[in-house]
Amino acid sequence: MTQAETQTAPSRAPDTLLIVALVALLVALVVAFVPPGRFAEVSTHEGSREVSIALESYERSGDAQAVPVFAEGGKLGLLNLPFEGLVAGDKFGSAVGIAAFLLVLGGSFGVLMRTGAIDRSLTGFVARFEHRMEILIPGLFLLFSLGGAIFGMGE
C-alpha cells in the first residue's frame, strides 16, 4: 500500500443543527427522569446581595414529567419547538424578526457565494486596479462597506 492509500480523510465536526437537536433531545430525556424541585436560598451577610444555597433544603415540587413529542393547543412539544420559536411573539419582539432576517440573509448570501459572483467581482476589481494602489485599497474598503450596508455581508 502506498502512503496516499493509507491516509484517512480528516474528521469533520457535526453540523450545528445536529448538535442543537441532540442537546434538545438530551434535555427532554433528562426532564423525563429528574424530578423538579427547588433549594432554599440563604443570605450570607446582612444587607448583601450574595446568597448561598443550602444543599439540605432541597424540596421536590412534583413528579418528573416527560416532554411530549408534539403538543396541541398552544403547548410546547419537542418537535414543534423550532416552529414555536419562530412564530411566537410579535414581529418587533422576541426572536422572530432576527431569525427571519438571518434566514433570508443566510439564504441570499449562500446563493451569491455558490454562484461565485462575489469572488469573481472582487477578483476582477483587484485585477483591474492591481497597479494603482491609491485606488485599489480605498475601492476595496468601499466595496466591503457597501456589501455590509446593502446585504449584510458583515454578518
- Is there a single domain that holds both residue 155 and residue 96? yes
| Judgement on whether residues 95 and 66 belong to the same structural domain of the protein | no
Is residue 5 domain-resident?
A: no
Flag whether 73 is in a domain.
yes
Instruction: Report yes or no: 88 and 96 within 8 Å, Cβ to Cβ.
Output: yes
pLDDT tens digits for range 116-137: 988 898 899 999 998 998 999 9
Give the range among 8-17, 70-79, 146-155 with minimum mean pLDDT.
146-155
Residues 81 and 93 in one domain: no
Helix ranges (H only) for 1-132 are 3-6, 16-33, 81-87, 96-115, 117-128
101: how many CB neighbours lie within 10 A of its CB?
A: 12
Contact 87, 76 (CB under 8 A): no
Is 100 in the same domain as 136?
A: yes
8 A C-beta contact, residue 117 and residue 111:
no
Q: Note the pTM of the prediction, 2 decimals.
A: 0.46
* % residues pLDDT > 70 (the chain): 85
